[in-house]
Structure 1
């Protein structure tokens, strides 16, 4: 079990969210979960047992106002976990997987305001400097190209996506291929008002890509939320096209 899962669940108290989370954890062999927009000011052992089971430990960042809140959960039978730094937009963690060593994991719930996301990029840059494999996953509330959006106003390469690209380039983080639905979020409206976007993703640094050149994120079905959970298996065997794509990224880094 070495799959990481990130999901904007839009409320962790929902019965359907707990049922779906348990199903995904079982089917995808998940050892770590980052839940976003939990909308909870407090979460205790009883709620965690109901949500995912009593073999899981957790760390919670409470909601601020009416939205937000994050909780990270890890299967304590399989992995060890230490929280290093937190804010309303990110939880930075050290995740030790016995068969794979230490990994830096950042669980992200980016602000809808691009000015506030400036602080997120600074926190990630400062917290992910060590030369060890690192993965950033979650809901960035930002898209990077017109291909990541369908419906409503056309995409503009404005301040938000420009600063995210700058962070990725400066800090050596790279997008990887995905399988499943192209977009991870829908506003659930109909007709010309409907919008689809890829707000959720995983970014890997080059050390992580060297460890797992087959890395690919899997976009799962949208159930109990308007966001898809996204999963990344750290030791999975993925299609050849995914391997070639990531090797090209590495090749570009080496040249």
Structure 2
């Protein structure tokens, strides 16, 4: 069942082994002001008792170490994203493989790579899916 949607996300409730799980799939805008709208919309989707997965392309890094090459990310945009994560009590699902999820495909000095894609979980989901990982 679709719970909410916007130009940047869709949130659904699904049954897994007859237990509800809320999943928000994100494709965030490149502009940080437009992403602020997304953070506000997702905060409204935050379930109180159900597991919640918030997955997709957030189009922003959490810290400078999540980027190599390219233009520096706006500090305020990273702060907005981290504030959203903290205010919702989310943690990041473990990941394996490359530390970057996106690359511009260029070579040499023009190459830019970032971690833009991730899976975030609320405490209820983290306790149920403690062995899960993203690849």
TM tier, shorter chain?
Answer: over 0.9
**Equivalent-residue separation in structure 1 for 2:56 and 2:79 (angstroms):** 19
2:30 maps to what in 1? Answer: 112
Partner of 1:84: 3
What count of residue pairs does the alignment treat as equivalent?
135
Separation in 2 of the partners of 1:141 and 1:151? 15
Q: Does 1:140 align with 2:58?
A: yes
TM-score after normalising by structure 2: 0.94
Give the Cα–Cα distance (whole angstroms) in 2 for the partners of residues 155 and 89 of structure 1.
20
Higher RCO (C-alpha under 8 Å, 6+ residues apart)? 2
Question: For residue 160 of structure 1, what is the aligned residue in structure 2?
Answer: 77
The CA deviation at 1:217 is: 1.1
In the alignment, structure 1 segments of 5+ residues that lack a partner are: 1-81, 219-255
After superposition, the CA RMSD in angstroms is: 1.3
Aligned counterparts of 2:101 and 2:57: Cα–Cα separation in 1: 9
Deviations 1:112-134 (A, max 9, x none): 01001111011110111332100
User: Relative to structure 1, is the Cα distance of residues 148 and 159 closer, same or farther in structure 2, using a 3 angstrom cutoff?
Assistant: same
| Whole-angstrom CA distance in 2 between matches of 1:84 and 1:116 | 21
Q: Does 1:93 align with 2:12?
A: yes
Change (3 A) 1:205 1:177: same
Structure 2, unaligned stretches of length 5 or more?
Answer: none
- Pair member with larger Rg: 1
Runs of 4+ deviating beyond 4 Å: none
* TM-score, normalising length: structure 1: 0.51
Partner of 1:253: none
Structure 2 CA distance for aligned equivalents of residues 107 and 154 of structure 1: 26
Q: 2:95 is matched with which residue: 166, 178, 183? A: 178
Once the 2 structures are TM-superposed, how far is the Cα of residue 147 of structure 1 from its aligned partner? 1.8
